[in-house]
Chain A
Amino acid sequence: MASDAGPGSGGPAAAQGALFELPEELAIDTDVARRVMVGFIRNQLHQAGFGRALIGLSGGIDSALVAFLVAEAIGPEELLCVMMPYKTSSAESVRDARLVVEKLGCQSETVEITRIVDGYFGDGDVPGDGGKSARGASQLRRGNFMARARMCVLYDRSVPWSGLVVGTGNKTEALIGYTTLFGDSACAFNPIGDLYKSQVRQVAAAIGVPEAIIRKAPSADLWPGQTDEVEAGFTYPELDRLLFWMIDKRRSDEELIVMGFNEAAIARVKRLVAVSEFKRQVPPVAKLGPRTTGVDYLYPRRRPGSARR
């Protein structure tokens, strides 16, 4: 079912040297997608009364694509890319992030989060302010803390920059819950949140994201050598296909098995999706009064008078 795709093409290309693997059912018209996402960015900013935006640029493909889309929507001079490495972040991440900044000609800043994170967890023999519980914290806790530290930096920087924070999470990771709540998923709006990772790659290739970024193994880079695909136990094309047929095309387990998906994989992905439902929704509020936000007080986010100016 899967075909290899060259830059910007939905069709098969020579397997050798193909930038990425694109399952054919996930191929989209990148011109239309780009048009919609760029319009969405402009519209969201305009409605909120902002002319500028900022993103956390990691060196990975998701934030690189969003940087390109924002630059196309409002011009690179109105975009601030903030790089927020931790001491163990790979040199490759920083290098690739710079590549995006250079190619776009946008503003950038680097804010190291090492002291913020180490200040809490401690560094070597130096204890942190998080006390004993923080000292032996797992990689997961540390990773989540880093993601949230970046969110704090980004939201703080949004004030002097006078811009909105644009989200960079994709549909695949949102569906399986491979995000940190109030961390990397925190944003004012997200233009790529309905694109599977394979589709992110397709649009990234079409819009001119540097090849090195498209080629490398996706990683949250929360610890050295971490890669998404090793952590999840799936390759993105496999996972994207399964999610697409399961969710977008409403195929039952039986139908998915007939299609050739592995039974255990189906069960595992279904569980990941169900367990992470809370990450995709606004926190619930106990219904008490006559009109409750999100329940029976239902207004568009943006309406006349809602822009800050």
Chain B
Amino acid sequence: MKPLRIALAQMAPVLGALDDNIARHHETLEAARAGGAGLVVFPELGLTGYQLQDLAAEVAMRADDPRLAGLAAAAGGMSAVVSFVEEADDHRLFISAALLEEGEVRFVHRKLFLPTYGLFDERRFFAAGDRLRAVESRLGVRLGIAVCEDFWHLAVPETLALDGAQILINVSSSPGRDLAAIHEVGLGTAASWRNLMRTYAQLTTSFLVFCNRVGMDETVSFWGGSEVIAPSGEAIFTAPLFDAGLHFVDIELGDVRRERIGLPLLRDERPELHLRELRRILAERTDMAIDVASEPSAPSERTEGIMRRARQRELG
């Protein structure tokens, strides 16, 4: 089987400069084609930059925007993942990643988990997506597309793999922080991401493609370090930290089969068990929910009753 050539566009978008960034995407697609790529991956919000705040509404595009169609046309015989601020019909704004194939926007994944803690403030400006599914691709395998923080939640790579994905793609704008000499590459963020990705690739026995941006928005530096990880959990390719570049990586899709035959973790997954237990947990949680709006000294009657029954169960 001919290897699949992946092009990782580890780039530095210009904050809020939509037209410039679209032009850069066109140039990169051209370079990727010249380099023989079958799949081109751009970073999270590569078309707009990350720290948008109130600019988000000003650079938003609908999924059927002709500018995206233009990129899809330019992607031609390749598959491309690009990321942008998506405005829905009801005017919610999403951080989205689109799969462009055969001249059209084939699929849009809306970021599910919007970090709003520490240096992040995404929920203030964006709506969270609520669909998670793998997508059929012209590459002959299903792809699982996720955006940055989505991968800090275990269920995301797991669900995508169960839904048939053989290549998991994470597009990121991960700000570098937690500088310390104790970390593998001097950067806590990079060390954590590397752990996650190797683990996910191995546990889902899938390829993992991670494209992280570089450059700076305001005060934060994005650290790059894009990677391709084999289904065995081994890194096939690691891009340099902080440097922009278009990197080509060849993968053998046959490795997924070999790995899954030898290490049939995915065969042995128990989604029905997981679902059953999740249902139970959810039911318990709902019943046990403490009414946070009430005073601590005045818990609701319902909560009291539940707590009492729980105590009795424990005693009994």
Contacts and interface: CB of A to CB of B under 8 A. Distances in A.
Interface stretch (A27-35, A94-102, A227-235): A27-35
Contact of B55 (A25, A31, A32, A299): A299
A33 B54 contact: no
Interface in B21-76: 51-55
B16 A304 contact: yes
Given A39-B216, A39-B242, A43-B215, A300 B183 contact: no
B187 to A, nearest CB: 6
B242 A31 contact: no
A79 B272 CA distance: 65
B10 to A, nearest CB: 14
A99 to B, nearest CB: 28
B282 interface: no
B179 A43 contact: no
A246 to B, nearest CB: 17
A43 B186 contact: no
Residue among A10, A35, A297, A301 facing the most chain B CB atoms (10 A cut-off): A35
A40 interface: yes
B54 A298 contact: yes
What secondary structure prevails in chain B residues at the interface with A? loop
Given A40-B221, A299-B55, A29 B187 contact: yes
Nearest to A32: B186
B129 interface: no
Contacts of A300: 15-16, 51-53, 55, 217-218
A29 B219 contact: no
A257 interface: no
Interface string A233-272: 0000000000000000000000000000000000000000
A303 interface: yes
A66 B221 CA distance: 18
A227 B183 CA distance: 34
Contacts of A39: 215-216, 221, 242
Interface in B202-255: 215-219, 221, 241-242
B181 A27 contact: yes
B179 A32 contact: yes
A32 B242 CA distance: 9
B88 interface: no
5 contacts: A27-B180, A29-B187, A31-B186, A32-B187, A43-B216
User: Closest 3 A-B residue pairs measured CB to CB?
Assistant: A29-B186, A32-B186, A27-B181
Given A32-B187, A302-B15, A304-B14, 15 more contacts: A29-B181, A29-B183, A29-B185, A32-B186, A35-B242, A36-B221, A36-B242, A40-B216, A40-B219, A40-B221, A43-B215, A298-B53, A298-B54, A300-B52, A301-B218
Interface of A: 10, 25, 27-29, 31-33, 35-36, 39-40, 43, 297-304
